[in-house]
Structure 1
Amino acid sequence: MSTLSGAPAPPRIPEAVHRRRWAILAVLMFGLLIVVLDNSILNVAVKTIASPEPTGIGATQSELEWAMNSYTLVFAGLLFTAGLFGDRIGRKKVLVFGVAVFGVGSALAAFSGSPGELIAYRAVMGFGGAFVMPATLAVVMDVFERHEQPRAIGIWAGSVGVGMAIGPITGGLLIEHFWWGSIFLINVPVVVVALIAMALLLPDSRDPNPGRMDPLGVMLSIIGLILLVYGIIRGGELANFSAPSVLLPMVGGLVVLVCFVLHEWRTDHPAIDITYFKRPAFAAAVTAIALVFFALTGVTFFSAFYLQSVRGYDALEAGLLILPLAVAQMVVALRARLIVDRFGARSVCTVGMLLVAMVLAAFVMFDVSTPLWVIELVLLMQGVAMALITPPVTVSVMQSLPREKAGSGSAVSNTFRQVGGALGIAVLGSLLSTQYRGAIEGHLSVVPSGARQAAGESIEATLAAAERLGPAGKALIGPANEAFLHAMHLTALVSTGVALIGALVVAVFLPDGDPEPERESAEGAPGRALPVSGR
């Protein structure tokens, strides 16, 4: 390719970087792995952490949700800003910083002495993770040519499956042989190895012409997202979305975000170009991401309690049972681009969303004696469904934007994912908790009156109260299981409805062909060469 003056255009990617692009992808997967690994480990450890000392720290269901959501709150609030910093000051710098902070937060969380400390240190981990996720995907877009990006993104998404597969098993082994804090301490050596590999292999890249900073836009995005996500989480905690402590932050967050959009629309140096949302490939993809993670995140949270509390499996066994989901996601994600090449992104993603709806509806059949092979088949299908959705919609988002905006584009995509996930845990968790309390309330007469409210908070709380009562508490086990299953079935039906809405959005709005091409540079080349250095 030549410029208008006849001189050959500079290569988009330096040859030295291009030659080691697959090694770079492996390092990025390693960085992403620590974030995914930690959250999947935590899912199988919730029962242990909820246990009284010395086994756990006696966290209530509300505190367990905050241990997850303090991470989500900070992560979602800073994702967009972290992506902007990566575009501006360099993605390698931002990625190394995020991994290091995540490691420090992990070490602190491992030695938490109370649920409050665990919640605080999980927030530190969320701060670090916010700088990891968008940077990994942005570097993928930097070091791979456009025709290789779908394959690379499929492998990137497959690494999520690796984390989901390793996490529960690792968590189960650690919980079985060590104390609960080991699930966080295991991150520290992984972080050290990741930092060394990043320093040696990763190139650095950034937007070559970032323009002026938009501090007002950045502050509005942080305040708006944190207020909105906090209100969502608080509503789930109280099981009441009409309470002033829920409505005020939620409405305030929405107002601030509206101000953010208006500011970005009018300013001549926006943090993000709002016109990106006019592109069907971008808008439909990020909406699909939000809806699918809304539907699945809440289900993932309560499925750990179903396997361990209702079915009686320990943490390691629960981790092994989740393995089909993770392996299916990993294997199918690696081949998703071939399926999309044959059938088109719209068709593949629509089928994926319908499969998600079918999987969630299948949870309505689960009871205390559901055959194990049925549970495993449903989890396998859930992994396949996720692999059919995540890589194609991620490709749609990233390839519909200019390459130099890869960091902010990735951040927007992941922000929608995190807000959708936070809504899933809050709304579906609230529904689950409310239904459980209503169903178990009439069976708590054997519990001392001063302890009844706490015993009705969750199935774990009820079973703990039954254990303290000795033989008299056995009468609570059956009603507790029935109350939880009733609540889980209703929650699964609501999740199914959300997944069906997602299928409709994808079927109507997601383009079937290649996303819109990258913005052309002044020289007429498709995109501009980014300053990518070997170190």
Structure 2
Amino acid sequence: MTTPAVPDSRVPEAVHRRRWVILGVLMLSLLIVVLDNSILNVAIKTISTPAPTGLGATQSELEWAINAYTLVFAGLLFTSGLLGDRLGRKKVLLGGLALFGVGSALAAFSGSPEQLIAFRAVMGLGAAFVMPATLAVLMNVFERDEQPKAIGLWAGGVGIAIAIGPITGGALLDHFWWGSVFLVNVPIVITAIGLMLVLVPDSRDPRPGRIDPVGVVLSVVGLVLLVYGIIKGGQLADFTDATVVATMAAGLAVLVGFVWYEKRSDHPSIDVTYFKNRVFSAAMGAIALVFFGLMGVTFFAVFYTQTVRGYTPLQTGLLMLPLAVSQLVFSPRARLAVDRFGNKATTTAGMLTLAATLVAFATLEADTPIWILEVIFFLMGAGMAHVMTPTSVVIMQTLPREKAGSASALSNTFRQVGGAMGIAVLGSVLSSVYRSGIEDKLAAAPAGLRHTAGESIEATLAVAAKLGPEGRALVEPAHDAFLHAMHVTALCGAGVALVGAVVVGLFLPGRNPTPQDQKGEGTELVGSER
């Protein structure tokens, strides 16, 4: 274990002594950011239910309720990292927590899907200042030889949040209205702020970068346009529609313009020269692809368990427990696999495991024994843990300590963009395939409701309920169409995971870099940064 007596230690002795307590406070702050999305996963069906039980949100509105958070989060992560480097990570972390708490309270009392989407964006703004600051503070209170262990525990905090989020959300929905899944964030925020004021030290970069407002606007606008086009295409089940094509093309054009601008800016939001390092690029890609698959799966898994299988929100939360427990168990231990087998073998095995679990999802039917789903979730968590921990360590140790905020922001940007794209792309595949499967069964529905009824299984069942006895004939076809759509969507996710396995298998190192290797890489990257 590192001790304060190390001559070149850069961590003050008083901070070093309480570093593990500080890590606990940082994990609590991280927990609320992740907890919100994991709680929302079991609440989306309730929110899609007509008032007064829910808000009557359509599938596309549900996707936007999730993506409004993730896109704002992703678009501002790098800027928030720079602000933390400049103003002090503790100050930025406290401000982000406070804003997240306010956004949560407002979201809890939303009166329409549109209000919920707007307040979720506010929550994403607050979260953007929380997550990179937690990892940046971590990197500044632990010495280099303890950083992999600390990052593993930090990543395990994600597992804790994934574990308690669905269960907490299910319990709240069993006893309170849907808004309680957001209101529960407020007391956690207050507790985290109090502990942080007392325990967490402040730190900053002595040579922070300049803020890049043009880059922020370009990245957010480009991502929103692209995701809007993808979601709209799924909603219409027609990706050749002129509006869909134009919106997606505009989004891609703006993102290309963003990269062009960043390459020529003397203070870019994202220093694209970092990506000349193939190891760094492969690690970033792996993170994005893992969350692409995870967020897409959890989006349709809730409808499978609650709508097709008939489980309550609380039971659904409990069914997701193996996914979280597996991450919690394996995230801190994944570094041991890296020490023995190397980054390449460990991460490739993790991606292949994730791909296999997605293929297994394509075999689930309405009467599949539920223990099979539990095994799938457990293996999925194990696969994720053996990707996230090694890639996080590679990314954080590629840049010097002073740029910890930037490295954390980049990592989390790719995580959130990957998740947003997973929900948009896989959600659109689900919607498009479902509509194709159910359209010819909707003859009994009024002509004006047929388009709406074909958007999702919840919409079909809502129309069926309005039709009374005539609508009962729609229930079984709706279930069958959803299962087929889920199978196709899962196989698409598996294909993405296989691409990730190829990327990390080709470009990640086969062993942990030695201190000499790291020194060489750090010099190269810092040089390119200047």
Q: Does TM, normalized by the shorter one, top 0.5? A: yes
Residue 264 of structure 1, CA deviation:
3.9
With 205-214 and 455-464 compared, the bigger mean Cα shift is at 205-214
Give the counterpart of 2:112 among 111, 114, 120: 114
Residue 271 of structure 1, CA deviation:
4.3
SS of alignment partner, residue 113 of structure 1 = coil
Partner of 1:181: 179
| Residue identity opposite 2:445 in structure 1 | V
**Would the alpha carbon gap of residues 345 and 90 (structure 1) be closer, same or farther in structure 2, given more than 3 Å must change?**
same
Residue 275 of structure 1, CA deviation:
2.4
Partner of 1:517: 518
Partner of 1:356: 354
SS of alignment partner, residue 332 of structure 2 = helix
| Residue identity opposite 1:261 in structure 2 | V
List per-residue Cα deviations over 1:370-426 (Å, max 9, x = no partner). 001111111111111111111111111111111111111111111112221111111
Partner of 2:92: 94
| Residue identity opposite 1:373 in structure 2 | W
Counterpart Cα distance in 2 of 1:17 and 1:109: 37
Counterpart Cα distance in 1 of 2:225 and 2:392: 26
Counterpart Cα distance in 2 of 1:170 and 1:385: 24
Partner of 1:136: 134
**Would the alpha carbon gap of residues 383 and 475 (structure 1) be closer, same or farther in structure 2, given more than 3 Å must change?**
same
**Where do residues 70-81 of structure 1 align in structure 2 (5 Å cutoff)?**
70-81=68-79
SS of alignment partner, residue 52 of structure 2 = coil
With 240-249 and 92-101 compared, the bigger mean Cα shift is at 240-249
| Residue identity opposite 1:29 in structure 2 | M
Contact 1:31 1:136 in 2 (8 A): yes
| Residue identity opposite 1:307 in structure 2 | T
**Would the alpha carbon gap of residues 134 and 518 (structure 1) be closer, same or farther in structure 2, given more than 3 Å must change?**
farther
**Where do residues 105-504 of structure 1 align in structure 2 (5 Å cutoff)?**
105-210=103-208, 213-504=211-502
Counterpart Cα distance in 2 of 1:365 and 1:194: 42
Count of residues in Structure 1 that have an aligned counterpart in Structure 2:
517
| Residue identity opposite 1:483 in structure 2 | A
Residue 257 of structure 1, CA deviation:
3.8
| Residue identity opposite 2:127 in structure 1 | G
SS of alignment partner, residue 518 of structure 2 = coil
Unaligned stretches of 5+ residues in structure 1 = 1-7, 528-535
Counterpart Cα distance in 1 of 2:444 and 2:231: 32
Residue 117 of structure 1, CA deviation:
0.8
Residue 350 of structure 1, CA deviation:
0.3
Residue 512 of structure 1, CA deviation:
2.0
Partner of 1:530: none
**Would the alpha carbon gap of residues 434 and 271 (structure 1) be closer, same or farther in structure 2, given more than 3 Å must change?**
closer
Counterpart Cα distance in 2 of 1:224 and 1:37: 27
Contact 1:352 1:386 in 2 (8 A): yes
Contact 2:230 2:428 in 1 (8 A): no
Contact 2:400 2:522 in 1 (8 A): no
Partner of 2:3: none
Counterpart Cα distance in 2 of 1:191 and 1:286: 29
**Would the alpha carbon gap of residues 450 and 192 (structure 1) be closer, same or farther in structure 2, given more than 3 Å must change?**
same
With 25-34 and 294-303 compared, the bigger mean Cα shift is at 294-303
| Residue identity opposite 1:457 in structure 2 | E
| Residue identity opposite 1:408 in structure 2 | S
**Would the alpha carbon gap of residues 481 and 216 (structure 1) be closer, same or farther in structure 2, given more than 3 Å must change?**
closer
Contact 2:148 2:393 in 1 (8 A): yes
**Would the alpha carbon gap of residues 487 and 228 (structure 1) be closer, same or farther in structure 2, given more than 3 Å must change?**
closer
Residue 213 of structure 1, CA deviation:
5.0
SS of alignment partner, residue 9 of structure 2 = coil
Counterpart Cα distance in 1 of 2:212 and 2:60: 37
Counterpart Cα distance in 1 of 2:235 and 2:71: 14
Residue 519 of structure 1, CA deviation:
7.0
Residue 263 of structure 1, CA deviation:
4.0
Contact 1:80 1:221 in 2 (8 A): no
Contact 2:345 2:510 in 1 (8 A): yes
Counterpart Cα distance in 2 of 1:440 and 1:217: 43
Counterpart Cα distance in 1 of 2:268 and 2:166: 42
Residue 446 of structure 1, CA deviation:
2.3
Counterpart Cα distance in 2 of 1:90 and 1:232: 38
Counterpart Cα distance in 2 of 1:81 and 1:235: 31
Contact 1:40 1:163 in 2 (8 A): yes
SS of alignment partner, residue 333 of structure 2 = helix
**Would the alpha carbon gap of residues 229 and 93 (structure 1) be closer, same or farther in structure 2, given more than 3 Å must change?**
farther
Contact 1:46 1:64 in 2 (8 A): yes
| Residue identity opposite 2:454 in structure 1 | G
With 443-452 and 370-379 compared, the bigger mean Cα shift is at 443-452
Residue 490 of structure 1, CA deviation:
0.7
Partner of 1:47: 45
Counterpart Cα distance in 2 of 1:88 and 1:341: 35
List per-residue Cα deviations over 1:191-218 (Å, max 9, x = no partner). 0001111111111111112255555545
**Would the alpha carbon gap of residues 201 and 244 (structure 1) be closer, same or farther in structure 2, given more than 3 Å must change?**
farther
List per-residue Cα deviations over 1:9-47 (Å, max 9, x = no partner). 763111111111111110111011001111111110111
Identical-residue share of aligned pairs (%): 65
Counterpart Cα distance in 2 of 1:57 and 1:220: 32
Task: Provide the TM-score with structure 1 as the length reference.
Answer: 0.92
Contact 2:237 2:433 in 1 (8 A): no
Partner of 1:16: 14
Counterpart Cα distance in 2 of 1:211 and 1:81: 10
With 19-28 and 56-65 compared, the bigger mean Cα shift is at 56-65
Task: Provide the TM-score with structure 2 as the length reference.
Answer: 0.93
Counterpart Cα distance in 1 of 2:422 and 2:10: 40
With 396-405 and 288-297 compared, the bigger mean Cα shift is at 288-297
Residue 154 of structure 1, CA deviation:
0.8
Contact 2:237 2:435 in 1 (8 A): no
Contact 2:236 2:432 in 1 (8 A): no
Residue 256 of structure 1, CA deviation:
3.9
Unaligned stretches of 5+ residues in structure 2 = 1-5
**Would the alpha carbon gap of residues 238 and 195 (structure 1) be closer, same or farther in structure 2, given more than 3 Å must change?**
farther
List per-residue Cα deviations over 1:467-524 (Å, max 9, x = no partner). 22333322111111100001111111111111111000010001122345257999xx
SS of alignment partner, residue 56 of structure 1 = coil
**Would the alpha carbon gap of residues 206 and 370 (structure 1) be closer, same or farther in structure 2, given more than 3 Å must change?**
same
Counterpart Cα distance in 2 of 1:291 and 1:402: 25
**Would the alpha carbon gap of residues 190 and 355 (structure 1) be closer, same or farther in structure 2, given more than 3 Å must change?**
same
**Would the alpha carbon gap of residues 495 and 222 (structure 1) be closer, same or farther in structure 2, given more than 3 Å must change?**
closer
| Residue identity opposite 1:69 in structure 2 | N
Contact 1:77 1:226 in 2 (8 A): no
Counterpart Cα distance in 1 of 2:9 and 2:375: 48
With 237-246 and 166-175 compared, the bigger mean Cα shift is at 237-246
List per-residue Cα deviations over 1:114-151 (Å, max 9, x = no partner). 11111111110011111111111111111111111111
